[in-house]
Chain A
Amino acid sequence: MSPAMLIVALIVTPLLGALAVGLLGRWPNLRETATLVTAATLFGLATQLIGPVVNRYDVALEVIEILPGLAITFRLEPLGLIFALLASLLWFVTSVYAIGYMRGAKEPRHTSFYVFFAIAISGAMGVATAGNLLTLFIFYEVLTISTWPLVTHKQNDAARAGGRTYLGILLFTSIGLLLPAIIWTWMAAGTTDFTPGGILFGTLGPTEAAILLTLFVLGIGKAAVMPMHRWLPAAMVAPTPVSALLHAVAVVKAGVFTITKVVIYIFGLDFLANVPLEQWLVYLAGFTVVAASIIALKQVELKRMLAYSTISQLSYIVLAALVLAPFAEIGAAVHIVAHAFGKITLFFCAGAIYVASKKTRLDEIRGIGRRMPWTMVAFTIGAVSMIGVPPTAGFVSKWYIIAGAFQVDNYFTLVVLMLSTGLNAAYFLPIVFRAFFRDEDVPPKVEHGEAPWPMVAALTFTAALVILFFAFNGPIVDIESRILEVGQ
């Protein structure tokens, strides 16, 4: 297959998977096999694209011109490749996990769950490989809409309310802010193609550029920069595999990925360096990092706490992208991967605790480390990565972001990082402590050990990834460094 066709295959494969899952709905084991085979195939296809990127081939594909001069195009670039690899690998892992979860937690309507899950992954692949803003926007919306049935999966009052907040905020931001930003970009630059070095240089004044960038940063609601973050805690009513893959990896990373691409390929670092007002967005992202951590500190539900932690970590990436230093951009790209491994592990653990013990609150998990040692060790590794301590993935990205902040003498960012590290430690370490070193208040009604084995296998695997990424991040950082190359 030619690389250009591979891009099409990336988007179509999950859709075919969705179809197969839908048709096989009556035979649960066959249906789950279809999901696993699709996910494995997708990851295999994504790995085929590593070669072209490493060898610097320009892989592009124009599908159809929707409006004069405005086409659906795909173009492979380093950051997108990493995003596609990440989402497809973790989709496979999550599918294994989901089999255990959906059966263990006795969730209804498995078929539609797997179908919409696959469609959402297709949307994520489209976002990863989009060659211009229009194409990206199309798949961004596919991702929004296909995840709504997943968020509302339980179909009770809480799910409906959560679904309303979810769709309301995501569509308000995308249609109300992002779409005009894209049209404005198109009118100013005459194109929306992602181009190394940016396309807006010389077309907008500094104030206009700052307004446009604000429209982008707030309009890309999936990045959950405050005040557009409320949808993410609302999405926690979904089954945990959805929270783990979509609301810790695919959906939210699509958001920060888009912001990073807009900063690098639409505005260009050199152009933004001459836009002083851009700094206010740095402050906004910094505020989000700290404020979300403080809110996380006060949560009593484990999943909601993780959601606020995600909001905080996403703004790390936004902040790093907006610092406009080369190292910080690399840090942003690396943190997309590092945070994904850590946070999916944490969500997997939360789901495993729920399935094994039906516990969701932080005060209930005293002593659970003795019953579920694998789960809680994995949780600890994920938590340490969130704080950013070696030997975990979180340390790598934090290193680059700090280096970037020093490159441009941005001390605000340094303070934010320090504060946030402290806050992260303050809300994660007590959980670890409580789980391992406290005794259970009351013995559980039903004796339980670990969750079903597919779940334990999945969370052990991702916890291992957190450690491995610390040791072997070289190739990935190499590829991601290429996002800063101008001209081929």
Chain B
Amino acid sequence: MSILEWMPFSVLLPLLAAPVCALLPGRFLPWLLAMASVTASAVIMAFVLPEAVNEPMRYFFGDWPPPIGIEYRVDAVNAFIGLLIAVMGTVILPWGRISVNREVPQRQGLFYALFLLSFAGLMGITLTGDAFNVFVFLEISSLSTYVLVAQGRSRAAPLSAFRYLVMGTLGATFYLIGIGLIYIMTGTLNMVDLAERLPAVADSRAVQAAFAFIIVGIGLKLALFPLHRWLPGAYANAPSAVTVFLASTATKVAIYVLLRLVFTVFGIEFVRQMPFAEVFFVLGVIGILFASIWAIEQDNAKRLLAYSSVAQVGYMALAISFVSVAGISAGLVHMFNHALMKAALFMSVCTVIYQVGSPHISAFRGLGRQMPLTMLAFVLAGLSLIGVPLTVGFISKWLLIETAMADGNWFAVVVVLVGSLLAVMYIGKVAEAAWLRPAPEGREPVREAHPGLLVPMWILVAANFYFGIDTRLTVDVARRGAEMLMGGSP
């Protein structure tokens, strides 16, 4: 079998493994099957990426060519995102096993089945070349995610899951309405066909309305300010493994869908006629500033990081709003980098919760001495989030500022820098509690976490530094991807 024929299995394997997983008894077997299929996905994607960077790979399901059948179309952009998701899944699952044993003691087969469905859904959204197929996978991943969030141990978890469900369903519906409108106007759902046929009808109200519906729909999914209200609760109350996985993948996939539809399907000409850049610029800026300030106000470390995620989405929106190859590649690079840093940060916070039992910052007091490896990981990943040199965060900030300067947009430069400084404040708040305050009196001495929790965390911390120094993979692929999205125009 050629790599082209293997490629769909990165979605199919987890999808097919999910029902089997649900039936498996005990704790170890379901985890093992989930781990095996996610790892297989990652391996496949690792082989796909080098191929897809040069020439888009096209796979026709059931050998039905596009207008009739569904096509998987993989180029530099989605191969990059697909690899990111699969690798994050592979790193997070071994970590998750220990916390899942504590948080979801019963019926783990179902839990891992849902995890696999969520994972397969995200992979499917990423690889497919069919706009309706995106919706199908979006629903697969969203529905399973709602249930996963509801598994959280806190009493607020079902409520958060319900909020997420309402907002997520709204988003999916908006997306579906948009897709329906462009289907009526063009008679196709294949993205490449859409891109060819849409320019002819670009002046119609229906297509413009479709664009608006799609943007709002995806905006809800990616928690773009002011559509972010579901995110902090969902992240804060979900089981730890789910939080880490969601934080590092779900919003990234939503951004990918946005880029794909906006630039490949609607096309750069159309986007320039719509107030897309202005809206994303304004929302990005407000998102960065407000969400960062809210993050500083949080007392719950998980919520703090969740608000930070909203701010980071703002950076990506800001990068995209430049509507240029440099801007989009900065956005793609930040997407990758943010997955690394936020996963490491959530892992260390969730490890603390696992050991201490509370996500409150007051519970972090004195942990610097008692859990030095966990808290050092937090500080290092936090430095990456701030954008200190030698970390991935620095690369993100550098590219973003460079883009803004080249554009002559000094206001954006200032916003990015202010965002970094606000990050110093919220990361510093946790670091100060951990390292400079004595442990609360009367608390049992806390021990350093299990190596099974520490090793994946430190792999991610190391990745934060590795990809901050060797940027060939991220920057080159992102640039290639951005050029493809922009159709070669500068």
Contacts and interface: CB of A to CB of B under 8 A. Distances in A.
Interface of A: 64, 66-68, 72, 134, 137-138, 141, 145, 149, 152, 155, 159-160, 163-164, 167-168, 171-172, 175-176, 179-180, 183-184, 186-187
Interface in B413-429: 413, 417-418, 420-421, 424, 428
Contacts of B390: 138
A163 B436 contact: yes
Interface in B431-490: 432, 435-438, 468-471, 475
Contact of B436 (A68, A137, A160, A176): A160
A183 B397 CA distance: 10
Contacts of B156: none
Contacts of A137: 389
Nearest to B389: A138
B386 interface: yes
Contacts of B468: 66
Contacts of B397: 179
B428 A167 contact: yes
28 contacts: A64-B469, A66-B469, A67-B399, A67-B475, A72-B469, A134-B389, A138-B390, A141-B389, A149-B435, A152-B435, A155-B436, A160-B436, A163-B432, A168-B424, A171-B386, A171-B421, A171-B424, A175-B387, A175-B417, A175-B421, A176-B420, A179-B398, A179-B417, A183-B398, A183-B405, A184-B405, A187-B402, A187-B405
B461 to A, nearest CB: 15
A171 B421 CA distance: 7
B372 to A, nearest CB: 10
Contacts of A179: 397-398, 401, 417
A68 B475 contact: yes
Contacts of B469: 64, 66, 72
B406 interface: yes
A40 B417 CA distance: 40
A67 B401 CA distance: 14
Given A66-B469, A67-B475, A137-B389, A187 B406 contact: yes
Contact of A145 (B388, B401, B475): B388
B311 to A, nearest CB: 15
Contacts of B436: 152, 155, 159-160, 163
A145 B405 contact: no
Interface string B390-403: 10000101110110
Given A159-B436, A176-B421, 20 more contacts: A64-B469, A66-B471, A67-B399, A72-B469, A137-B389, A145-B388, A152-B435, A152-B436, A160-B432, A164-B432, A167-B428, A175-B387, A175-B417, A175-B424, A180-B405, A180-B413, A183-B398, A183-B401, A183-B405, A186-B402
A134 B389 CA distance: 9
Contacts of B399: 67
B430 interface: no
Contacts of A187: 402, 405-406
Contacts, number: 69
B383 interface: yes
A67 B398 contact: yes
Contact of B395 (A66, A164, A168): A66
A180 B389 contact: no
A66 B476 CA distance: 11
Contacts of A175: 386-387, 417, 420-421, 424
A244 to B, nearest CB: 23
A64 B466 CA distance: 12
A138 B387 CA distance: 11
A204 B151 CA distance: 59
Nearest to B406: A187
Nearest to B417: A176
A152 B368 CA distance: 14
Contacts of B413: 180
Contacts of B420: 175-176
A186 B399 CA distance: 12
Interface string B102-132: 0000000000000000000000000000000
Nearest to B432: A160
Contacts of B401: 179-180, 183
A158 B435 CA distance: 15
A187 B348 CA distance: 37
Contacts of A66: 395, 468-469, 471
Nearest to A163: B436
Contact of A67 (B383, B395, B417): B395
A171 B395 CA distance: 17
Contacts of A134: 389
Given A183-B401, A187-B406, A145 B428 contact: no
A141 B405 CA distance: 23
Contacts of A138: 389-390
Nearest to B418: A176
A145 B424 CA distance: 12
A64 B469 CA distance: 8
B391 to A, nearest CB: 10
Nearest to B476: A68
Nearest to A182: B398
A164 B428 contact: yes
- Of A64, A72, A152, A171, most buried by chain B (CB within 10 Å of CB) is A171
A425 B471 CA distance: 54
Contacts of A159: 436
B73 to A, nearest CB: 28
A171 B402 CA distance: 20
Contacts of B421: 171-172, 175-176
The list of the 10 closest CB pairs from A to B, nearest first, reads A138-B389, A176-B417, A175-B420, A155-B436, A183-B401, A160-B436, A141-B388, A171-B424, A152-B436, A141-B389
B403 to A, nearest CB: 10
Interface string B247-289: 0000000000000000000000000000000000000000000
A174 to B, nearest CB: 9
B428 A67 contact: no
Contacts of A72: 469
A216 to B, nearest CB: 15
- Of A145, A179, A187, most buried by chain B (CB within 10 Å of CB) is A179
A155 B413 CA distance: 35
Nearest to B390: A138
A149 B395 CA distance: 26
Given A179-B397, A180-B401, A180-B417, A167 B406 contact: no
